């Protein structure tokens, strides 16, 4: 199991490095858009949509990294008062009853929409927009898959800690 967890963590880390570059590109495109609009009165739907695609990518693919780093939202008022053992048990319950089912649901519910989008190579509804909507929609099941992988990794880590320490 350690190899499985290590592999998942490496995949999530690689995704997070990729997202850092996407974030830097997005910031550059925002600056370029502002510069072109206010100094040259030039607007570009394609650049604006690319910024939106990058923004969506950062959030959707960044969820698994946030979960890996234990930076996700939880009810800290109650969670911080629990013992280490109870925190692990609560995390296990949350993984099994909430995170894993939701990740599987995201994958399953988005599959038909994404495959339909790929079948027609769905593009932008805006004139001059990007014809890459099918790729953007593909991030939905990919996000669910990464969340599922990370939830399994966290689940196995917590089970190991619970088994070894208690």
The band of 102, judged by pLDDT with boundaries at 50, 70 and 90, is: very high
Structure tokens at 130: 């990007």
Of the listed ranges 73-77, 94-98, 100-104, 142-146, the least confidently predicted one is 73-77
pLDDT, position 86: 86
**Single pTM value for the model:** 0.89
pLDDT in tens, 106-115: 999 999 999 9
Q: Are 15 and 99 in contact (CB under 8 A)?
A: no
Under the banding of pLDDT at 50, 70 and 90, the label for residue 78 is confident
* pLDDT tens digits for range 133-161: 999 999 999 999 999 999 999 999 999 98
- Mean pLDDT computed over every residue of the chain: 92
- Residues 36-44: what's their mean pLDDT? 92
Residues 72 and 128 sit within 8 Å (Cβ to Cβ) = no
Q: Per-residue pLDDT averaged across 76-85, rounded?
A: 78
According to the model, what pLDDT value does residue 77 have? 73
pLDDT at res. 165: 77
Q: Write the pLDDT tens digit of every residue in 43-55.
A: 999 999 999 999 9
């Amino acid at each position: 199991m350690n190899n499985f967890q290590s592999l998942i963590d490496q995949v999530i880390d690689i995704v997070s490095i990729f997202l850092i570059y996407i974030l830097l590109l997005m910031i550059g495109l925002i600056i370029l858009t502002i510069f072109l609009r206010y100094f040259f009165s030039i607007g570009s739907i394609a650049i604006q949509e690319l910024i939106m695609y990058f923004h969506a990518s950062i959030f959707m693919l960044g969820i698994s990294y946030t979960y890996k780093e234990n930076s996700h939202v939880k009810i800290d008022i109650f969670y911080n008062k629990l013992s280490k053992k109870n925190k692990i048990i609560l995390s296990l319950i949350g993984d099994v009853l909430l995170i894993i089912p939701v990740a599987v649901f995201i994958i399953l519910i988005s599959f038909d929409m994404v495959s339909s989008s790929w079948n027609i190579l769905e593009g932008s509804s805006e004139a001059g927009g990007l014809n890459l909507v099918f790729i953007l929609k593909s991030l939905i099941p990919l996000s669910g898959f990464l969340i599922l992988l990370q939830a399994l990794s966290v689940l196995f880590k917590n089970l190991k800690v619970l088994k070894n320490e208690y």
